[in-house]
Amino acid sequence: MNFYLGIDLGATTVKAGCVSSEGKILSETKVSTEAHLGPNAVVQQIIKTVDSMFEQYGKDSVEAIGIGAPGIVNGGIVKAPPNISSWDAVNLQNEIHQITGIKVIVENDANCAALA
């Protein structure tokens, strides 16, 4: 069975869920964003949630990772999120893909909510 990971990047928490190909939510987790420590710390917190899902479902079963991020998102680059200071023009899509090797799509969080 193939799975998808959905991540909500917030000012205080990173929330993640694993969803089946049929759209059923299988599990959820969250960690502190650690935004006050800068973009690298936030990326590490995202990886922490992704790794916990890999442990449960196996990395090879994950088809893609979708991330909803605040601020302007263009081509996977997150610019000036209003609720995360010291963050400007971070290529979140590339950074997470380079670490995981899995397809990553980053979109504005409000657009993600509208699609949901």
What pLDDT score was predicted for residue 29?
A: 93
Query: What is the reported pTM?
Result: 0.93
- Predicted confidence (pLDDT) at residue 116 exceeds the cutoff of 80: no
Residue 112 in tokens: 């993600």
What distance in Å separates the CA atoms of residue 64 and residue 105, rounded to the nearest whole number? Answer: 8
- What does the pLDDT look like over 2-23, one tens digit per residue? 899 999 999 899 999 999 999 8
Residue of 81, 77, 53 lying closest to 65 (CA atoms): 53
In this prediction, residue 105 has a pLDDT band, given cuts at 50, 70 and 90, of: very high
- What does the pLDDT look like over 76-96, one tens digit per residue? 999 988 878 778 889 999 999
Residue of 51, 53, 9, 46 lying closest to 28 (CA atoms): 53
Domains of the chain: 3-115 (3.30.420.40)
- Predicted confidence (pLDDT) at residue 24 exceeds the cutoff of 90: yes
- What does the pLDDT look like over 27-72, one tens digit per residue? 999 999 988 888 899 999 999 999 999 999 889 999 999 999 999 9
What pLDDT score was predicted for residue 12?
A: 92
